[in-house]
Amino acid sequence: MDSMSGFPPEEDSLITLSTWQDPDSIHWSFQHMRELIPSQVIPAPAHARPLRQGKDVDLATVPVKRLSGEESTFADVVSDTWTDALLVLHRGRLLTERYYGGFTSETPHLLMSVSKSIVGCVAGNLVDRGVLDPALSVEKYVPEVADSGYGGATVRDLLDMRTGVLFRESYEDPDAEIRVMERSMGWRPWLDGDPIGAYAYLATLTRTADHGGPFTYRSADTDMLGWVCERAADMRIADLVSTLVWQPLGAEAAAEITCDAVGTGIHDGGISAVARDVARFGQLLLDSGRVGRRHVVPGSWIADAWNRPEDVREAFAQSDNEPVLPGGWYRNQFWFVPSMAGDALVCLGIHGQMVYVQPSTGLVGVKLSSWPTAQHTSSLVDTLRAFGALGAQLGPA
């Protein structure tokens, strides 16, 4: 039976706050977040910036060696990895735009942690304007967390996910902090005694290690970063994203961000957007933050992420991400991974959300998906390899 079928939907087809992240629900729910969870609008400009068209690519001719060792093609990777949307830009032209399973160019899709990279761009703008200082401690902006695990952490620690806060990103463990936090932020049913709101939950976290140590992926660090940005700018994140990124980007559709019971946007993964605007965001990153002659994101912010200090690479090498993404690093809320045609900046979200940006080849790739599990290593690696192989085939920028 199709999800949410019937008027009203039949009981067996219902998707609720308790079930929207179940494997059989994800394809529908990722396209209908505002119908499940309260959401704030991220307005787009009155006029979109056009996407220039190029010649489509035959993905069946792009060879890909899968993580399993199998020789395959980009088309096979797309078919095998629960793809909802795939867009490819090369040298600023849209070559490929394909949708699957009822998804369309007008359908918003949950970006999960690609949202983090968007919030990182907001932070970069605030730093450039002198409103936010990465060297200052978190409690300078949010005194309420001085006695929590975030006490003593710097904004830079948040940006690079190098706090010492105890926060387990174990998606299959219902007692892990990532899943417990979802109850406070409105992504799962609230239980008696849970803090009401994401910020109230952040203030309860403790510390397990020194700040500034190894890279450990913590969604809570981005939520804390979003709180800091809101306090520094005196503006909620939905309006910051719209004013600093979405409107100057030339987006064609409003985006949305889920919010908790007290109206706080979910910075770590709550943004939904249409795939074409995600591609525009990727092109912005490829063009060093520029749209035309205007710098939407400071070029120095993106350059800083590319030209990371050596300790940032060392922090990543000490993490459990190194075996999956060898040679990579994490800076300013972006992932960086080596590939056969040069390093790539990557924005990643669970269940298969990806923006792939490769300056050496001028490639921008967007893949929105509905993997049945939060993490799927072979699908992740195969998709990275597919974009890398396509960049190598298309040639240098």
State the catalytic residues: 113
Q: Are 336 and 329 in contact (CB under 8 A)?
A: yes
- 114: which 2 tokens? 């690609």
- Could you give the angle at which helices 114-128 and 275-286 cross, rounded to 10 degrees? 50
Name which of 79, 24, 98, 170 is nearest 383 in CA terms: 79
Distance between CA 366 and CA 375 in Å, rounded? 18
- Determine the 3-state secondary structure of 361 from DSSP: coil
The answer for residues whose C-beta is within 8 angstroms of residue 22's C-beta and 6 or more apart is: none
- 119: which 2 tokens? 């919030």
Q: CA torsion, points 321, 23, 167, 151, in degrees to nearest 10?
A: 110
Distance between CA 168 and CA 49 in Å, rounded? 40
Q: Is cis: bond before 8, omega within 30 of 0?
A: yes
Beta bridge partners of 356: 346, 365
Q: Are 335 and 313 in contact (CB under 8 A)?
A: no
